[in-house]
Amino acid sequence: MRILVTDGMDKTAMAELREMGHEVVEQFYEPDQLGKALRDFDVVVVRSKTKVRANHIDEAKGSQLKLIIRGGVGVDNIDVDYAKANGIDVKNTPKASSQSVAELAMGHMFSCARYISIAGHTMREDKWEKKAYGKGIELQGKTLGIVGFGRIGQHQGVMAKAIGMKVVAFDIFHIPGIEEQLGIPYVEMDELLAMSDFVSVHAPAVDGGALISAENIAKMKDGVVFIDNARGELMDIDAVTEAVESGKFGALFMDAFPGETGIIHVPHDEDIIRTPGMPYFKLKYLRSFVNVYHTPHMAFFTEEAAEQMAECGVNSIYEILTEGKSKHEIPC
């Protein structure tokens, strides 16, 4: 079996596939070359940089391509329904990064509550800023509102409850029994925004405009801490900037941002943050505020998560080989 890896994969997993007798090719293809290239492979493994669209599938259908694996959770870079309609299965690896993304969200909250980042920076400058940053807040007793209550949201909710926070969740899909199992109730979006001291988003990109709009920001508490470890397109960047300027947001944490490309899948010496289509100067302005924290889409990227993503991908390939299809569904 020929396997194309376009955006990187755990080296151990690739070695395992080669030991199983498969040919593994590491090669990124530009969009105008991808469809033709896919015809020569049985499986393609992508992350976020490679976009597999209907035109690529049109070029590849009828060939030996059987499976597209997305290393990660979001599959918005793949036309899933169109691929399946043309006999090409699509799988992702959402279980792999649930803990890592949820832990980073919690880390953001601890950092904000005790000014850890800015206090550390000022100490490096030989500034003793105890009066400015020494008096923080405790998370215990505060309310966390989680928007998007899939695996990641559930992991964060459990951790937050363990330290004494009140947790509420909003999702357009209600999982039967999960409220009783975790002790975390579903509420309507407006109610969540109005009652939460911290709002953490773990939702896919949506059609029809930004979820975090000026209208929804107005419904939040003054001084709310907002965390987006999901997709930058969920934010109206102008509305978010105004919320920071006015103090509506007590702090803003962004691990994703509008217009970003696959950050870890390109050479690190490239000037990623100036990528065409990304509001570079708006983001640079936001980063000038001490209560804005911007990380390079790294929430999912831990040693453990990378290993689990690769393992899930290998398992899907093995199932295709032995059973003709993978047991994993989207989301699996």
* Paired tokens of 269: 């010496």
Alpha helices in 163-287 (DSSP H): 178-182, 189-195, 214-218, 237-246, 280-286
Confidence at residue 308, expressed as pLDDT on a 0 to 100 scale? 75
* Strands 249-254 vs 292-294: parallel, antiparallel or unpaired: parallel
Amino acid at 133: Y
* Strands 249-254 vs 224-228: parallel, antiparallel or unpaired: parallel
Is 297 in the active site? yes
Say how far apart CA 76 and CA 4 lie, in whole Å. 20
- Cβ proximity of 95 and 151 under 8 Å: yes
* Paired tokens of 255: 């691990």
The one catalytic residue among 56, 151, 202, 297: 297
Task: With CA atoms as reference, report the closest residue to 290 among 102, 101, 120.
Answer: 120
Confidence at residue 268, expressed as pLDDT on a 0 to 100 scale? 39
- What does the pLDDT profile of the chain (332 residues) look like in tens digits? 899 999 887 788 788 888 888 899 999 999 999 999 999 999 999 987 899 999 999 999 889 998 898 877 778 789 999 999 998 988 887 677 788 899 999 999 998 888 778 777 777 888 888 877 767 889 999 999 999 998 999 999 999 999 999 999 999 989 999 999 999 999 999 999 999 999 999 987 766 678 889 999 999 999 999 999 888 788 888 899 999 999 999 999 988 877 665 443 444 344 444 444 556 677 788 888 888 988 877 887 787 877 777 777 677 776 766 666 655 544 43
Task: With CA atoms as reference, report the closest residue to 315 among 6, 5, 20.
Answer: 20
The one catalytic residue among 70, 108, 231, 328: 231
Say how far apart CA 52 and CA 308 lie, in whole Å. 23
The one catalytic residue among 56, 202, 260, 328: 260
Say how far apart CA 169 and CA 175 lie, in whole Å. 11
Task: With CA atoms as reference, report the closest residue to 311 among 169, 121, 303.
Answer: 303
H or E element that contains 26: strand 23-26
Q: Is 150 left (phi over 0), alpha (psi -120 to 50) or beta?
A: beta
Amino acid at 298: M
Task: With CA atoms as reference, report the closest residue to 282 among 251, 246, 224, 239.
Answer: 239
**Domain 98-294 maps to which CATH number in 3.40.50.300, 1.10.1040.10, 3.10.310.10, 3.40.50.720?**
3.40.50.720
Domain borders along the chain are 2-92+304-323, 98-294
- Cβ proximity of 199 and 223 under 8 Å: no
- With 0.75 as the threshold, say if the pTM is over it: no
Shared fold status for 2-92+304-323 and 98-294: yes
Confidence at residue 215, expressed as pLDDT on a 0 to 100 scale? 95
**CB under 8 A, 24+ apart: contacts of 321-327:** 321/1, 325/89, 326/67, 326/89, 326/91
Name the CATH architecture for the domain at 2-92+304-323: 3-Layer(aba) Sandwich (3.40)
Say how far apart CA 306 and CA 312 lie, in whole Å. 10
Confidence at residue 208, expressed as pLDDT on a 0 to 100 scale? 65
Say how far apart CA 80 and CA 83 lie, in whole Å. 5
